[in-house]
Amino acid sequence: MRNLQTTVLGAAALALSCVPTLAGPCTAEIDRAQAQVDARIAAKAQAGPTAAESPGALLHRQPTPGSIASAEQRLGEGIRPEEALVMLARARTADSANDAPACAQALADVSRLLGP
């Protein structure tokens, strides 16, 4: 009897976890723009100068994308990653509110910042 209850509860949990989520009007474009920003930050990091390890790195902590972007900015390189990340956050907010024009504008700003 107990196995039957566990099986039924497991099946119910599985069924409820499969509920589809709705994407906003520009979710795919946001994902592509995020990949472009990430690729640009990574390319600049590989080509640029190095800096000393931070105290956090010495404590075996993994860097976050924001900490990497800040370090690159201090070294005078990068694509102004804070601006790109703010614009992507603005696009995500507009996307979740189903505001396609605001989302498109934020993505256009990211594209302008990245350049050709």
The pLDDT, as a whole number, for residue 67 is 77
- Is residue 86, in this structure, part of any structural domain at all? yes
**8 Å CB contact between 87 and 106:** yes
Contacts of 85 (CB under 8 A, 6+ apart): 37, 65, 66, 69
User: Of residues 88 and 80, which shows the higher confidence score?
Assistant: 88
- Is residue 34, in this structure, part of any structural domain at all? yes
The pLDDT, as a whole number, for residue 104 is 93
Q: Does residue 8 surpass a pLDDT of 90?
A: no
- Is residue 100, in this structure, part of any structural domain at all? yes
Domain count, the chain: 1
DSSP 95: H
**Closest to 80 (Cα-Cα) out of 35, 33, 114, 45:** 114
Domain extent for 103: 24-47+56-114
Average pLDDT value over all residues in the chain = 76
DSSP 51: -
- Is residue 91, in this structure, part of any structural domain at all? yes
User: Of residues 79 and 39, which shows the higher confidence score?
Assistant: 39
3-class secondary-structure state, position 63: coil
- Is residue 3, in this structure, part of any structural domain at all? no
- Is residue 5, in this structure, part of any structural domain at all? no
- Is residue 96, in this structure, part of any structural domain at all? yes
The pLDDT, as a whole number, for residue 60 is 76
3-class secondary-structure state, position 26: coil
Predicted TM-score of the model (pTM): 0.56
Residue 95 pLDDT level (bands cut at 50, 70, 90):
very high
**Closest to 103 (Cα-Cα) out of 116, 111, 93:** 93
Instruction: State the residue for tokens 């860097």.
Output: 63
- Is residue 87, in this structure, part of any structural domain at all? yes
The pLDDT, as a whole number, for residue 30 is 93
